[in-house]
Structure 1
């Protein structure tokens, strides 16, 4: 497909050039879920298992550590001081203000580095590039973060397509054009890859594609504007949720995928949605942070900030604290139960990416060009590193250090940067 298309035409179009009617979606969705029940990351078992990040493999390969998008890595350690191990230029080359794509690691330990150049790179821990996979030409490239399952790297791009690349070689396995653009990140579960899709007008939809073939097996046109937000799937609560530029948070039953409620805010909901304790946590361009019940879509609390909130929330499920930044330049720690502020830290620029939370620290980037490490208990700065470009991606942390990407400036391209312990 090429040229402008309406949302309705995309909803009528099948993956891979075929024809798919909405009446057949339920059966095809069931078929896709039965196809790969064992090839994704394994789920944990035992009491409370579903409330934990599903498994080490999923924590590595799903943006924000799992389908609930909590951004909490209790086993990871942030070094007391860091040095730059390496930088790779030309990752981000555009000036689009949306948060840039973030880094994840594949099951073999390679970094997957997407960028608005339209490329995904597989990079070793030493900074050597294994392969570079290209998406089709578009002015804004990739802003979503990949997920990995079935030996495939799934990522959406601003050409409106969802891609699957071989994780070992970078070879394109399939491409399914779903709309006008995709700025969101995919989620994989039970043989299906779910993604939010943007259409001209503006308009929006949700889609689920067969993980092996790319065939669209579910579509829903409920959003009425671009859903740039990143969906969360909370299997405990039986909900799939996503935000939209129309100011709404939408909830579907899961796995039935029936739209069950809409929660309205006063501004665009652009960031990832995090879920915990039967609730969704997210920010809005109406300057507020919300907790909304997943069962009914009812507001539980709202915290007013001093400016728009574009980034996503992270939830420490042990301390029951939600961390979120905003255009007022502050990272805030809020009580998950009440919304009461515990502390805030002022950076020198917008905070539009998501924080990353460990047992002792919080990592966050800022438009002041720095990536910060803060003490989780009181928000005191531990260290900061300049990227020579706005840091709107979400930092990735594990035992091999910290990885993040920066946005391009007039003087230099955006880079992928790896930080390691300076000791």
Structure 2
């Protein structure tokens, strides 16, 4: 029998984040913060079938949408929706809407549909007309109606759960602070399928690899990498990665597992055995994305392209003071956002072949009392000529 769960739902913590002194819209000008659509240059076109449905696009965290194209040149902000909250969630796109936390915004106009967004919510996932959100628990909502479907209570409620991963009718989500557990939850009814205890907390999403049963990969803060059977939760293998960065989610791309290392490199790992296939240590270490034989890596102050076969560097471009988050990749471009909380919050597009910068769009800082917040949360979502980003001050942008 699994350990007992907490009996009571916690109330939303978003109310405690509601007091905001003002906004910095540019050149240091300070105005009262307002919720709602606070900037509108134009609507965008977004087909209902266009989708970036989960953290880094898919259950493997590949960050690669081969069907998408982004703005080609002279990109600019089409609209901005402001939630006036300190936020950590990234944005996903599905059914004509953009979602951050439990907030749903019309993906074309930037007007709110329903829901809310606070700092105690993670990047959601959309699957089979359901929205799954990590708060202090795992919550499921109907995408069309916004109604609550179920809530799964984890063992601890210290902060938001990492982003959920959905595959094969199961939602996989790590526990919150002081809860070193991977939970597997039935997507239909919220019942627990299994749980697995890790060595330390896991603060990034898991990655899922398709196979006979599917394999779940989790990287904890020790840092130890675990491979678990997707159906049973049985440990398949485990290994210590002394130089890996536990703040970067593992990635599965075209049947191989990749983990960014803290010393400026990347591990390529056989997902079935856990053995190292190759290790790149040329100074481009960080979040990995890509497909079609090429990996794109966002390091501390650079972005680069690697050959997936052997890790050799194809190109490398300095990002200067910009601290790039996980890349979003299309067939011809790589998109990153500045995750620095004190930077200019820029969103930058690079040519996928040459690494040349194509365009750059800045987001705004927002003043919270006596300090400001800025920066992009996680990676952009790129669909049908539009780049969507969510920022730490609680703004959602559509860039075309």
**TM-score of Structure 1 vs Structure 2, range by shorter chain:** 0.7 to 0.9
- Note the alpha carbon deviations across 1:258-314, whole angstroms, 9 max, x for none: 1111122224422222213432112133443211110111112222365973xx311
Work out which of the residue numbers 279, 292, 311 in structure 1 matches 2:269. 292
Asked if 1:346 corresponds to 2:326, the answer is no
Q: Which residue of 1 aligns with 2:21?
A: none
Q: Which residue of 1 aligns with 2:78?
A: 85
Q: Which SS does the other structure have where 1:60 is aligned? A: coil
- Note the alpha carbon deviations across 1:62-82, whole angstroms, 9 max, x for none: 332322221111221122221
Contact 1:249 1:269 in 2 (8 A): no
Instruction: Return the alpha-carbon distance in structure 1 between the equivalents of residues 106 and 257 of structure 2.
Output: 34
- Select between 257-266 and 279-288 the one with higher mean Cα deviation: 279-288
Structure 1 339/308 Cα, relative in aligned 2: closer, same or farther at 3 Å? closer
Instruction: Return the alpha-carbon distance in structure 1 between the equivalents of residues 396 and 82 of structure 2.
Output: 7
- Select between 355-364 and 167-176 the one with higher mean Cα deviation: 167-176
- Note the alpha carbon deviations across 1:67-99, whole angstroms, 9 max, x for none: 2221111221122221211112236516xxxxx
Q: Which residue of 2 aligns with 1:365?
A: 337
Work out which of the residue numbers 116, 125, 130 in structure 2 matches 1:147. 125
- Note the alpha carbon deviations across 1:338-368, whole angstroms, 9 max, x for none: 1111111222335352101111100011234
Which residues of 2 match residues 30-179 of structure 1 at below 5 A? 60-81=52-73, 82-90=75-83, 92-93=85-86, 100-106=88-94, 108-114=95-101, 119-133=102-116, 140-142=119-121, 144-157=122-135, 159=136, 161-178=137-154, 179=156
- Listed as ranges, the gaps of 5+ residues in structure 1 are 1-9, 18-55, 95-99, 408-412
Instruction: Return the alpha-carbon distance in structure 1 between the equivalents of residues 174 and 194 of structure 2.
Output: 12
Q: Which residue of 2 aligns with 1:314?
A: 289
Q: Which residue of 2 aligns with 1:233?
A: 208
- Note the alpha carbon deviations across 1:180-213, whole angstroms, 9 max, x for none: 344421122333211111342xx51100112233
Structure 1 264/177 Cα, relative in aligned 2: closer, same or farther at 3 Å? same
Structure 1 255/176 Cα, relative in aligned 2: closer, same or farther at 3 Å? closer
TM score, norm. by length of structure 2: 0.78
Q: How many pairs does the alignment contain? A: 344
Q: CA RMSD in A?
A: 2.7
Contact 1:314 1:355 in 2 (8 A): yes
Q: Which residue of 2 aligns with 1:7?
A: none
- Listed as ranges, the gaps of 5+ residues in structure 2 are 9-47, 365-373
Structure 1 121/330 Cα, relative in aligned 2: closer, same or farther at 3 Å? same
Q: Which SS does the other structure have where 1:251 is aligned? A: strand
Which residues of 2 match residues 181-330 of structure 1 at below 5 A? 181-200=159-178, 203-221=179-197, 223-236=198-211, 238-267=214-243, 268-304=245-281, 306=283, 309=286, 312-316=287-291, 318=292, 320-327=293-300, 329-330=301-302
Contact 1:124 1:130 in 2 (8 A): no
Q: Which SS does the other structure have where 2:115 is aligned? A: strand
Q: Which SS does the other structure have where 1:416 is aligned? A: strand
Q: Which SS does the other structure have where 2:56 is aligned? A: helix
Instruction: Return the alpha-carbon distance in structure 2 between the equivalents of residues 91 and 249 of structure 1.
Output: 37
Instruction: Return the alpha-carbon distance in structure 2 between the equivalents of residues 276 and 364 of structure 1.
Output: 18
- Note the alpha carbon deviations across 1:355-401, whole angstroms, 9 max, x for none: 01111100011234211111000100000001123224211111151
Instruction: Return the alpha-carbon distance in structure 2 between the equivalents of residues 57 and 323 of structure 1.
Output: 26
Instruction: Return the alpha-carbon distance in structure 2 between the equivalents of residues 90 and 285 of structure 1.
Output: 34
Instruction: Return the alpha-carbon distance in structure 1 between the equivalents of residues 332 and 127 of structure 2.
Output: 30
Structure 1 16/352 Cα, relative in aligned 2: closer, same or farther at 3 Å? farther
Instruction: Return the alpha-carbon distance in structure 2 between the equivalents of residues 187 and 145 of structure 1.
Output: 10
Instruction: Return the alpha-carbon distance in structure 1 between the equivalents of residues 129 and 239 of structure 2.
Output: 37
- Note the alpha carbon deviations across 1:166-190, whole angstroms, 9 max, x for none: 2123232222221334442112233
User: More helix per residue: 1 or 2?
Assistant: 1
